[in-house]
Amino acid sequence: MRRRLRTLRVGERDYTWRATIGHVAGDGDEVHRCIRVRVWGAGKNSRALEADLLSKAVGDGWPAVATDGSYPAPADVRCLVAHALTAGWEPAAPGGVFRLTEAHGLELPGFLITDRVRDPAAADPTGRVIRAFGRQDGRV
């Protein structure tokens, strides 16, 4: 399968990015859509920005992962880049990866950052999605 690379401009720099759709399991039976975003600011050999985005979508009678079509928009990626730059990401540095994690406290309109993909002991994504959905819906 061919991977689609997209570009966007933030400030004076052009960034190339891609998003890979996957899933992440909660502590119970729930499975959630998770999208790994990878961004380069100075070519493929530069330090990449990486973030695992957990969709805030909840299922309505169906499992969320079965009906969720969430995908990051360029505005979401622009927000990730801006946040990473303020957190110390150096896009022109050679090699390596700068990861945005739950500790960064970043929340996008349709996504949360999750560590669960890399760390099975990280916070339960189901609980985080339910809390985020409640905030959106005005319940919490």
Residue 126 is predicted with a pLDDT of 84
Has residue 68 been placed in a domain?
Answer: yes
- 125 within some domain: yes
Residue 110 belongs to some domain of the structure: yes
The phi, psi pair for 135, rounded to 5°, reads -65, -40
Per-10-residue mean pLDDT, the chain, length 140? 80 93 86 93 94 85 71 96 96 95 93 93 86 61
Is 101 part of a structural domain of the chain?
Answer: yes
Global pTM?
Answer: 0.87
- Structural domains of the chain, count: 1
pLDDT of residue 74: 96
Determine the structural domain holding residue 68 and report its residue range: 6-137
Domain-located, residue 31? yes
Does residue 78 form part of some domain? Answer: yes
Residue 1 lies in a domain: no
Is the CB of residue 74 less than 8 Å from the CB of residue 6? yes
Q: CA quadruple 69, 72, 76, 82: dihedral positive or negative? A: positive
